[in-house]
Amino acid sequence: MRDVAAQAGVSAMTVSRVLKGDPRVSSGSRALVLAAVEELGYRLNETARSLRVGGSGLIGLVVTNIANPFYSRLTLGVQEVAGEHGLRVLLANTGEDTDRERELVDDLLARQVDGIVLVPAGTGQGPLALVAARGMPLVLASRPPSDIDTDCVLVDDFGGAREATARLIAAGHRRIGFLGNPPALYTGAERFRGYWAAHEEAGLEPDERLVRRGLRDPATAQKAAEELLDQPDAPTALFCTNNRLTQGAVRAVRSSARTTALAGFDNFDLADVLGIPLTIAAYDPDEVGRRAARMLIDRIRPSSDRPIPARRTVVPTNVIEYGPRHDS
């Protein structure tokens, strides 16, 4: 910047003012500075600016697995809103590892991010208390706060699971298997609750022997589904708590002789073209990211100076029915 100032024959202060658009600069100086900037190919050093001004213009985004389409879409939503406010996204991936989450958050703090959007890994959130304690704006996504009091964006896990299950019941199914992710996870617990509630509301009681929880990937889901379908009194339908488990179940159904109906949480590509009866509780993952970013920015740049209480917002689901293939 000194070089630019020298080249333009003004002081560094004037250069600074021109660059940040301060109107109190004569158009003459402005032109001189701009010319010098151009000629020297100068760019402002954001690091130094951050140090002086405070606030890095960065927000941290911590997800469990960026390769999962849900989180990559969430990332897109966060990016979109952050970009509108001139903020950049520093991305971190925990792989569901709590220790790593702590390290990453720690590093984000050291880098002076202006706020953090985080999908909590695992279940305990003790370490995050630190973040909140330091007054760092923090929004949780997908899973609610447990040990701490902070903003969060959730999906209507309960409602979506309940309605999808209810559709199966309405279609006449009475023996509906459940393929679920670990019950210790919030989404797992809520979606199971929805499955159960739909039964109760129809005056039915689910058969516990048709319930398999703690499934983590398509392969284990496929195996569990095959076992269920292989029983003498097999379920006529299966509800799966997420897209990966649904995909495992699709394989199992496909390789069996039965025409088992499927329902699941999360939409996925080609669901329309599988040619089996499929009921999906869908929602917009981008919207989770957008809302999280908006809540975060509300705290980073408060519109009023009253303290904002911790808020919670729930992204709705809508149930889609894909029919079997209609061969024409």
Q: What is the number of alpha carbons within 13 Å of residue 244 lying toward its C-beta?
A: 13
Which of a copy of itself, DNA, none is residue 28 near (CB under 5 to 8 Å by kind)? Answer: DNA
Which of a copy of itself, DNA, none is residue 11 near (CB under 5 to 8 Å by kind)? Answer: DNA
Which of DNA, a copy of itself, none is residue 14 near (CB under 5 to 8 Å by kind)? Answer: DNA
DSSP string, 241-298: SSHHHHHHHHHHHHHSSS--EEEEES--TTGGGS-S-EEEEE--HHHHHHHHHHHHHH
Q: Which of 306, 7, 289, 41 is nearest to 155 (CA)?
A: 289
**Minimum distance, C-beta of residue 154 to a copy of itself, in the bound complex (Å):** 21
**Minimum distance, C-beta of residue 182 to a copy of itself, in the bound complex (Å):** 22
**Minimum distance, C-beta of residue 86 to DNA, in the bound complex (Å):** 13
Which of a copy of itself, DNA, none is residue 170 near (CB under 5 to 8 Å by kind)? Answer: none
**Minimum distance, C-beta of residue 251 to DNA, in the bound complex (Å):** 52
Phi and psi torsions of 100, nearest 5°: -65, -40
Residue with smaller CB distance to a copy of itself, 135 or 309: 135
Helix (H) or strand (E) holding 116: strand 115-118
Residue with smaller CB distance to a copy of itself, 111 or 301: 111
Which of DNA, a copy of itself, none is residue 318 near (CB under 5 to 8 Å by kind)? Answer: none
**Minimum distance, C-beta of residue 49 to DNA, in the bound complex (Å):** 4
**Minimum distance, C-beta of residue 164 to a copy of itself, in the bound complex (Å):** 19
Determine the longest span between alpha carbons in the chain, in angstroms.
90
**Minimum distance, C-beta of residue 15 to a copy of itself, in the bound complex (Å):** 15
Rounded CA separation 320/179 (Å): 19
Rounded CA separation 91/114 (Å): 14
Residue with smaller CB distance to DNA, 48 or 308: 48
Residue with smaller CB distance to DNA, 37 or 263: 37
Helix (H) or strand (E) holding 238: strand 237-240
**Minimum distance, C-beta of residue 61 to DNA, in the bound complex (Å):** 24
Binding residues vs DNA (CB under 7 A): 1-2, 10-14, 16-17, 19-20, 23-26, 28-29, 44-45, 48-49, 51-53
Residue with smaller CB distance to a copy of itself, 79 or 150: 79
Rounded CA separation 43/31 (Å): 16
DSSP string, 117-184: EE---SS--TTHHHHHHTT--EEEESS--SSS--EEEEE-HHHHHHHHHHHHHHTT---EEEE-S-TT
Which of a copy of itself, DNA, none is residue 88 near (CB under 5 to 8 Å by kind)? Answer: a copy of itself
Residue with smaller CB distance to DNA, 16 or 246: 16
Rounded CA separation 181/259 (Å): 24
Pairing of strands 318-322, 261-265: unpaired
Structure-token pair, residue 150 = 């902070």
Binding residues vs a copy of itself (CB under 8 A): 41, 43-48, 50-51, 56, 58, 61, 65-67, 69, 71-73, 75-76, 79, 83, 88-93, 106-107, 109-112, 130, 133-134, 247, 250-251, 254-255, 257, 268-270, 272-275, 286, 325, 328
